Amino acid sequence: MVCMDVIKTSGVVIRRTKVKDNDLMLTIFTKDMGVIRASARGARGFKNKLSAGTALFAYSEFLLYPGKEVYKVNGCELLESFYSLTSNIERLAFATYIADLTGYVIQEEAETERLLSLFLNTFYLFAHWGGELRTVKCVYELKLLEFLGFAPCVTECVACGNEETAFFSPAEGGTLCADCRQELSSGREISESCLSAMRYVLSSEDKKAFAFRLSEVVLEEMESFVSGMISECIDHDFYSLTYLNTILGK
């Protein structure tokens, strides 16, 4: 049966909860409807037509009916499974945190096509890339902050506009000159390499934003400033982040 108000959209299953019998409750990060919740009846059943497309982290095209409280999945076609994420505990932990973070900050009906595309690039790297995944996480977090309107100021002193900036303060939302740092007594010294990396990420197109490498020292510095910004702007403790840090030995 084809109903008039059936909605077709693509998205990633970012959370998947088992409900009674063979049913699932899904949280889907969609291309054009933000983050939504949808029920999928019978999807846990072996050979069910919905099972492949409703797996955790599956990127699928969905046919949805609006329900009273949540959408109902009427059909779905798997586009990309990101299956290799589930075969490696570290890759899975990175993906779970990024999915949690995104699901927490993105509302229903947000305009999210650009962010979904960045999210898919990030997931692709988490699933397949042989490089340092902590860099990928930092880039996504910075770009997410930018998407939310919380991008740190990295081109001048956030307090006075001075272009000589050797300090960074997550609480003030960006770089500081020596005078403002002293006056505000906030922030720490930032290296030229770390500042260049943050400027690069915030000024490049999404697809090119991952194309750089950092030394371990500079990466640690960037992680600390970016996670400081995330804590300032998004006041929430993510269990998945604590878990990821445990796996990484932090």
Q: Which residues bind Zn ion (CB under 5 A)?
A: 157, 159-160, 162, 177, 180
To Zn ion, the closest distance from the beta carbon of 209 in angstroms equals: 27
To Zn ion, the closest distance from the beta carbon of 218 in angstroms equals: 24
Nearer to Zn ion, 79 or 184 (CB): 184
Nearer to Zn ion, 180 or 202 (CB): 180
Q: How far apart are CA 84 and CA 91, in angstroms?
A: 9
Q: How far apart are CA 74 and CA 171, in angstroms?
A: 46
To Zn ion, the closest distance from the beta carbon of 159 in angstroms equals: 5
Strands (E), the chain: 7-18, 24-30, 35-40, 59-65, 71-80, 167-169, 174-176, 188-189
To Zn ion, the closest distance from the beta carbon of 155 in angstroms equals: 13
Q: Give the position of tokens 């499974």.
A: 81
Q: How many CB atoms lie within 10 A of CB 246?
A: 10
Cα dihedral 117/82/10/113 (nearest 10)? -10
Nearer to Zn ion, 6 or 160 (CB): 160
Nearer to Zn ion, 172 or 221 (CB): 172
Q: How far apart are CA 120 and CA 248, in angstroms?
A: 23
φ, ψ (nearest 5 deg) of residue 189: -65, 140
3-state secondary structure of 214: coil
To Zn ion, the closest distance from the beta carbon of 158 in angstroms equals: 8
To Zn ion, the closest distance from the beta carbon of 190 in angstroms equals: 14
Nearer to Zn ion, 116 or 157 (CB): 157
Nearer to Zn ion, 98 or 159 (CB): 159
3-state secondary structure of 3: coil
